[in-house]
Structure 1
Amino acid sequence: MTNATQPIILTGDRTTGPLHLGHYIGSLRSRVQLQHEAKQFLLLADTQAMTDNVGRHQKVTENVVEVALDYLAVGIDPDKSTIFIQSQVPELAELTQYLLNLVTVSRLERNPTIKEEIRLRGFERDIPAGFLTYPVSQAADITAFKATLVPVGDDQQPMIEQTNELVRRFNLTVGREVLVECVAVLSHVPRLPGIDGKAKMSKSLGNAITLGATPDEISKAVHDMYTDPNHLRVSDPGQVEGNVVFMFLDAFDPDTAAVDEMKAHYRRGGLGDSVVKRRLNERLQALIAPIRERRMQFERDRAGVLEILRQGTMRAREAAGATLSEVKGALGLNYFGS
């Protein structure tokens, strides 16, 4: 178990679908390591996922267990990391309500992350209120556990800045240090594109390789991967930059010297796409096979997985409840002495 002097980390995923290799390279591997170095809370963000899935709530709830299975399959240990369900910790919703009083609508609309996500979803001015205010919900998630470190991508830095703004505003308002500021832990791993070359890898876009993919699904995905459209013959010089196969090899092939040699050969010509894809397929099959096997083992005991989530959620409620009690006390909302 983690030592009380260790840093507290909060991280998590929206429960809108099974996790894929983009999640694995971007965060899951580091979370497995971090659980040995810090007190880690892993949030299954179903409440947040509801903010832009109106009418698709069943998809959100069904994927809670799917994401939990992925966590367990990659090596998250529930004895070292607290895995919990956001919607089942009502203390987070109450803390969100108090923090909402400390931020304006115009400040939320200026948040670069929110602005970009509103654009991507085509909301324009028809923005669901829950979606607009989810940075405050995220701030509650972080501050409820007094997390000091929050692993995020570059695009999420504005969310951490807004969290710290709210922490400072709250502490100034009540005249004492109650909530704790956090630090963004940035991933140094480039974001993986989809197998079609598009910037975003997503199961819903059909351009992702999930962590539970079968051997045939992996082989088909690699076969369909975007390479260099001008590399028509084996003898033609090929372009490595923007070539999805080489981007995946950079991410998953530990033999960097061999990959560098393949890149040089590809650039000068004489190396076919099929050879490069064959190597990548071998690497991905070896990587995913044990993850898939562990996932299948956990899936056979879904009741056991739900029990892990129940216990983790109880621990999360205890931690969040302690912070909420401090917050309510600082605001004078402890009418009955508790």
Structure 2
Amino acid sequence: MQDNRVLSGMRPTGQLHLGHYHGVLKNWLELQNEYDSYFFVADWHAFTTHYSDKIDLEGNVMEMVVDWLAAGINPNTATIFVQSKVPEHAELHLLLSMTTPLSWLERVPSYKDQQLKLKTKDLGTYGFLGYPLLQSADILMYKASLVPVGEDQVAHIELTREVARRFNHIYGREVDFEEKAEAAIGKMGKKQAKLFRSLRKSYQETGDDEAMVKAQALLQEQQNITLGDRERLAGYIEGVGKIILPEPESLLTKASKMPGLDGQKMSKSYGNTISLRDSAEAIETKIKRMPTDPARIKLTDAGDPNKCPVWQLHQVYSDSQTCEWVVDGCTQAKMGCVECKQPVIEAAQAELAPMQERIAKYQADPELIKQIIHEGSEKAREVAVETMAEVRGSMGITY
């Protein structure tokens, strides 16, 4: 497992909006400075719900990467790649499907939820049922220790952990596993080997979780053993076989507080978005058309900010002084709704103006975008090739 690696992706199904920026990209901006970050455009995943839609997938992929860069994702710090440029994802998905019970996929919460929400689409497909397993393959391919997700996605990470555990149980049983593990311990040096054996014994005999943590940390420090030996010994601590695909952990991200223009969560499905590329005029028009507290029919009618979607945007964009001005002006009928909306309009315009300048700069250099995608995908593929060599070896597909 790569203890400092995170992986996250996004489907290229249309224009990015402020919900994506506040809910995902801002988290990525922090992660890229703390972790070995892999961010990918999940173009195959777009087909799980949009297989029959006429979307410009190539254009969407390019424009999504442009938006990421304009938002501040740094290709020199993070690895940016496109899923379909790393065909090993499909192979791992196929091989994992051989050991994953059908019932595990049918119980994923989003499976039925999405079918209810997207009733106009025929989602009774093999690909839609299996998309959580493709997600698992995306994650396990890079042996990422952490996957940044919102609470609604934790179930997908739990599935990934189960899939990895089952695969390791079935294929981690090398014929000479114990001999190889003992040989690897011998390479650690007498003092370190003695400590490792003591920690392993403590964990296996008393279930001491602290001993497990210390033993894993000890392995990460070793310079004299290979990555394969390290993973073999990680399994040896637990009394199982070699850990081929390490189990990732969820990294709960800060929940997005970005409401849509109607007060619901900002989503293309609801048609309530402000796109990262909306002009200043479009932003002004959209916010001016926002519904407000229905009790405020006349200017002299007092209102309740908690019943107004505009107030939710003030909570995202406005400082405490402006928020106090809004509450006073609304509840005391001191100002109209158009006046109340003006600070939000200006804040959204100010947030997007510099980003749109950078978007224009990147759009003017499509070859640079192609180069970033190519280099990132090549780097990602190097990792994927190593993982698949190990997976094939454990399954006996080496002829």
Q: State the TM-score, normalizing by the size of structure 2.
A: 0.78
Matches within 5 A, 1:180-199: 180-199=246-265
Q: Secondary structure of the residue that 1:270 maps to in structure 2?
A: coil
Asked if 2 retains the 8 angstrom alpha-carbon contact of 1:197 and 1:225, the reply is no
CA spacing shift, 1:227–1:185, aligned 2, 3 Å = farther
In the alignment, what sits opposite 1:116? 113
Q: Share of identical aligned residues, percent? A: 35
Match of 2:162 among 165, 172, 187: 165
Amino acid corresponding to residue 245 of structure 2 in structure 1: L
Measured in 2, the distance between the counterparts of 1:108 and 1:76 equals 33
Match of 1:284 among 334, 340, 348: 348
Matches within 5 A, 1:19-38: 19-38=16-35
Measured in 1, the distance between the counterparts of 2:340 and 2:252 equals 30
State yes or no: 1:201 paired with 2:198: no
In the alignment, what sits opposite 1:107? 104
CA spacing shift, 1:135–1:260, aligned 2, 3 Å = farther
Measured in 2, the distance between the counterparts of 1:327 and 1:316 equals 17
Q: Secondary structure of the residue that 1:131 maps to in structure 2?
A: helix
Asked if 1 retains the 8 angstrom alpha-carbon contact of 2:27 and 2:254, the reply is no
State yes or no: 1:174 paired with 2:192: no
State yes or no: 1:14 paired with 2:11: yes
Note the C-alpha offset of 1:214. Answer: 0.8
Measured in 2, the distance between the counterparts of 1:169 and 1:56 equals 36
In the alignment, what sits opposite 1:70? 67
Asked if 1 retains the 8 angstrom alpha-carbon contact of 2:287 and 2:341, the reply is yes
In the alignment, what sits opposite 1:329? 393
Asked if 2 retains the 8 angstrom alpha-carbon contact of 1:135 and 1:159, the reply is yes
Match of 1:263 among 327, 332, 356: 327
Measured in 1, the distance between the counterparts of 2:40 and 2:71 equals 16
CA spacing shift, 1:267–1:322, aligned 2, 3 Å = farther
Q: State the TM-score, normalizing by the size of structure 1.
A: 0.91
Amino acid corresponding to residue 67 of structure 1 in structure 2: M
In the alignment, what sits opposite 2:383? 319
Measured in 2, the distance between the counterparts of 1:5 and 1:51 equals 29
State yes or no: 1:249 paired with 2:246: no
CA spacing shift, 1:171–1:264, aligned 2, 3 Å = farther
Amino acid corresponding to residue 321 of structure 1 in structure 2: V
Q: Which moved more, 1:93-102 or 1:187-196?
A: 187-196
Measured in 2, the distance between the counterparts of 1:123 and 1:223 equals 31
Measured in 2, the distance between the counterparts of 1:124 and 1:283 equals 37
State yes or no: 1:226 paired with 2:223: no
Note the C-alpha offset of 1:112. Answer: 0.5
Note the C-alpha offset of 1:191. Answer: 4.4
Amino acid corresponding to residue 320 of structure 1 in structure 2: A
Measured in 1, the distance between the counterparts of 2:294 and 2:368 equals 48
Asked if 1 retains the 8 angstrom alpha-carbon contact of 2:257 and 2:316, the reply is no
Asked if 2 retains the 8 angstrom alpha-carbon contact of 1:18 and 1:70, the reply is no
Asked if 1 retains the 8 angstrom alpha-carbon contact of 2:263 and 2:312, the reply is no
Asked if 2 retains the 8 angstrom alpha-carbon contact of 1:16 and 1:63, the reply is yes
Match of 1:238 among 300, 303, 324: 303
Match of 1:214 among 279, 283, 287: 279
Asked if 1 retains the 8 angstrom alpha-carbon contact of 2:89 and 2:141, the reply is yes
Asked if 1 retains the 8 angstrom alpha-carbon contact of 2:104 and 2:159, the reply is no
Measured in 2, the distance between the counterparts of 1:16 and 1:256 equals 36
Measured in 2, the distance between the counterparts of 1:251 and 1:146 equals 35
Asked if 1 retains the 8 angstrom alpha-carbon contact of 2:89 and 2:138, the reply is yes
CA RMSD of aligned residues (A): 2.0
Q: Secondary structure of the residue that 1:334 maps to in structure 2?
A: coil
Asked if 2 retains the 8 angstrom alpha-carbon contact of 1:25 and 1:251, the reply is no
Asked if 1 retains the 8 angstrom alpha-carbon contact of 2:90 and 2:134, the reply is yes
**Max radius of gyration: which structure?**
2
Measured in 2, the distance between the counterparts of 1:16 and 1:209 equals 16
Q: Secondary structure of the residue that 1:36 maps to in structure 2?
A: helix
Q: Secondary structure of the residue that 2:144 maps to in structure 1?
A: coil
Note the C-alpha offset of 1:198. Answer: 3.6
Measured in 1, the distance between the counterparts of 2:143 and 2:288 equals 46
Note the C-alpha offset of 1:187. Answer: 2.8
State yes or no: 1:94 paired with 2:91: yes
Measured in 2, the distance between the counterparts of 1:242 and 1:187 equals 27
Asked if 1 retains the 8 angstrom alpha-carbon contact of 2:2 and 2:143, the reply is no
Greater helix proportion: 2
Measured in 2, the distance between the counterparts of 1:47 and 1:242 equals 40
In the alignment, what sits opposite 2:203? none
State yes or no: 1:297 paired with 2:371: no
Q: Secondary structure of the residue that 1:7 maps to in structure 2?
A: strand
Asked if 2 retains the 8 angstrom alpha-carbon contact of 1:44 and 1:85, the reply is yes
Note the C-alpha offset of 1:7. Answer: 1.4
Q: Which moved more, 1:256-265 or 1:92-101?
A: 256-265
Amino acid corresponding to residue 179 of structure 1 in structure 2: L
State yes or no: 1:85 paired with 2:150: no
For residues 194-233 of structure 1, the C-alpha deviation after alignment (integer angstroms, 9 at most, x for no partner) is 213344421x653211111111111111112232122223
CA spacing shift, 1:266–1:189, aligned 2, 3 Å = farther
Note the C-alpha offset of 1:40. Answer: 0.7
For residues 238-265 of structure 1, the C-alpha deviation after alignment (integer angstroms, 9 at most, x for no partner) is 2222522221222233x23432442354
In the alignment, what sits opposite 1:308? 372
Q: Which runs of 5+ in 2 are unaligned?
A: 173-241
Asked if 2 retains the 8 angstrom alpha-carbon contact of 1:100 and 1:136, the reply is yes
